[in-house]
Amino acid sequence: MNYEINKKYFYLFKIIAFTYVLLLLFTYNNNKSYANASFIDLFFKVGSIEYTSQNESKTLDLAPFVYYGTSLVPFRAILEELGYSVQWDNKTKTISALNENNTIILRINSIYAEVNGEDRILSVAPKIVSGRTVVPLRFVAECSGASVSWDQDNKTIHITQYGKFDTGKVVYYEKTNSKNTIYAYDGDKISTITLENKDIQNWYTYKGQVFLTVSEESRESKGLYLLKDNDLQLLLENFEMKDSFEYNDNLVILGYDRVKQYDMLCRFDGKAFYIVKDNFFVGKRFIFKDKLVISKYDNNRKYAVVVIDKTSWEPIVLRDAFIINNYIVDKNYVYITGNGQEGTKNFIVVYDGNSISASSFKVVMENASVNVDINNIVMFEGKLFINIDGILYVVENNNPMRVVFQDIGAKVQYTVKFMKVFKNKLYVGVTFNTSYYDDDYSSISKPNFMIENKGGVIEVLNNLETSDLAVVKANKYVTVNLGKYRKFIQKLEPVEMKVEGNNLLVWGQDSDSLDQVLYTYNGATINKMLDIVRVNNTLSFGDNTFIDVRDRDRLSATLRNTIIMQKGSAISNLIVGFETEKWADLDGSLIFTGYQSSGQRNKVYSFKSELLEQLGNYDVDYWQKLDDSLFIGGLNKESRSYQLYKFKDGNKSFLKDNIIINTIIKVKNPYYIIDAFDKNSDSSSPSSRVLLIYDDELGEFYKMKSGVQVWDMLYVQ
């Protein structure tokens, strides 16, 4: 077919087209669902009106066909899939297409086209067939930077394009009924690894590498693999990772050898993989003062507690034939409960972390009661205090001594419920049950002149002084002298005690009035609040302490939820009748969500210097703090749409409508990767699962892939 081109009309056509471009620019920027079509994955089949776009099935109004060796497709479908906004001028039979990077102008029956102001010649001109305008598929795709591949056997055309974003490397794993696939996006392209009859059990990333436990369904075997150069490299056969953590600039991997049938301790330093110890089962473990302490077991049926420090990976025995049951860490010590490999003895150990020698792992009490609460062990004034079955003991040189308090006319042994060290003083919560002793530690009745103990809190002062040790009927006693303690709170049956920020909190029931009360103490001022039925949660930052409570409204004689705020010594209600579900400290602002009974709806509030309602009728179903930002997703019940918001620096930003969030991960600034369900009305599916890139600087979303069933995502730093 020959085409005659009238140059005069062609240049007139270019002027007219410029007007369309201006109109398109406005239309494009105001009607887009996503920022652009940077990521393209299209499958067309010659002779079929069915095609797929990022795994979503769609329909053409005219099937693609081949004309003189060139595939032609309906213009609007292909151009819009490539991210263009399209205008058709019926009078001049002109197609004008615009996206953020390109302008393409085509004319029916003309082999001359214009791309970004430059003239181009087509192999086949656009045509009108059966009332439908078709254009050369390869030309418009390659003008857009996409790659086109042709499958001669199946007569299919595959068009791909990957957005360029400096996200760093991101890997995600897709599980479907037909196959499992690993995808890796490096900011330039997406690579895939198809796992035939294989599945990922777990994976971890460290120093730019990804470790995976891969199971093979056919062989019922597992192996440890390294994801390298977009391929799986086998490290250990018949091995599965059980856990991993970072220590000493290494990734420590705990795993199981399925052939030898024992656990192994391994490490990866970023370059090489090492087996530290085989036949090494790990129980309780902790890192303290740069030392890794492990309660271990082996197939020789030997237990031990070992330590590894930063000078060597060789485990050193702290105590043989010992098992850690529980532990709690404070600033200076680790308190440990455990038992021996033989017998029924229970031990209490204090580990100071100062060395790798056994002297740092000090048994302070043998044959301890099995009822020792690890949270009721404290170190105060260089002495270990333990609550065992309600009796307060101080332990020195493996000698547990019962602690009694010298009062006027008698020595008093209180029944203890709680202990906390706060501002260099020991606070002991006690019940009304009390025993009295004379100077010889013989049991006596309460002296008549003494006020009956009705529970409360005892404050033991620093510079603690005690009397000489006394032994009576095999029990050892030590007495806290008068003047070295005071009855800090009286007539209280304590329910709980905790240190929160700069405050000591104690709540319970008043023994006389039976009121339920909460005390707060900042070291200078004590506050008492009535009708506090329960403390649900606490949070502190700066000079503020927030206390989420269940309290009683005496006016209506009903229960409600309230957030109480203490700033310095001042205390007040922040919000009343609010059942808090989630809250977060965000750079000095409190962001919280929950149900407000007065409006009978869920809301989101913020507080920095004043209480502000941020979202008035909003059901939160996603809440994730990432660095200095908080992402909140949920249903806006006023508009009946799912929305995503971000809070940062105390400010709220609306990000996107009609989106249900599954997962958000932070990658290289300013980007986030989001796994979500797209509820947009222009989506071909009413609820299509999508993988998105979010640019936090531009506030734009870019669709990476649709129809993906993400199992997990990792940012490979």
pLDDT tens by residue, 300-321: 899 999 999 999 999 999 999 9
Q: For residues 315 and 650, which has the higher predicted lDDT (pLDDT)?
A: 315
Give the number of residues written for the chain: 717
24: phi then psi, degrees, rounded to nearest 5: -65, -40
**Residue 359 DSSP symbol:** G
Tens digits of residue pLDDT in 258-269: 999 999 999 999
**Interval 184-202: pLDDT, tens:** 999 988 999 999 888 999 9
- For the cut 60, the answer to whether the pLDDT of residue 22 exceeds it is no
What span, in angstroms and rounded, lies between the C-alpha atoms of 571 and 424? 24
What pLDDT does residue 36 have?
Answer: 55
Q: What is the pLDDT of residue 256?
A: 95
CB-CB contact of 181 with 190 (8 Å): no
pLDDT, mean of residues 132-148: 93
Q: For the residues 646-660, what does the mean pLDDT come to? A: 94
Q: Average pLDDT for residues 219-227, to the nearest whole number?
A: 87
Residue 14 host element (H or E): helix 7-30
Tell me the CB-side half-sphere exposure of residue 497, using CA atoms within 13 A.
25
- Tens digit of pLDDT for each residue in 238-257? 999 999 999 999 999 999 99
Q: How far is the CA of 474 from the CAs of 291, 401, 471, in angstroms? A: 39, 11, 6
| 28-80 residue pLDDT tens | 444 445 555 578 899 999 999 999 998 888 999 999 999 999 999 999 999 99
CA distances from 172 to 6, 161, 186, 513, 663 (A): 54, 18, 12, 60, 12
How far is the CA of 145 from the CAs of 102, 119, 140, 148, 163, in angstroms?
Answer: 10, 17, 9, 10, 10
Span 614-628, mean pLDDT? 96
pLDDT for the residue numbered 205: 95
pLDDT in tens, 381-438: 888 999 988 999 998 777 788 999 999 989 999 999 999 999 999 999 999 999 999 9
Q: Which two tokens stand for residue 87?
A: 């205008």
In the predicted model, is pLDDT for residue 4 greater than 50?
Answer: no
pLDDT confidence of residue 34? 57
Per-residue pLDDT at 13 exceeds 60: no
Contact indicator for 104, 140 with CB cutoff of 8 Å: yes
CA distance 698 to 704: 17
Please check the confidence at residue 237 and state whether its pLDDT lies above 70: yes
Q: Average pLDDT over the chain, rounded to whole?
A: 90
| This prediction's pTM | 0.86
Q: Which long-range contacts (CB under 8 A, 24 or more apart) does 437-441 make?
A: 437/404, 437/410, 437/411, 437/412, 437/413, 437/477, 438/410, 438/411, 439/411, 440/472, 441/404, 441/411, 441/470, 441/472, 441/475, 441/477
Angstrom distance (rounded) from CA 630 to CA 618: 16
pLDDT digits (tens, 9 = 90+) for 421-437: 999 999 999 999 999 99
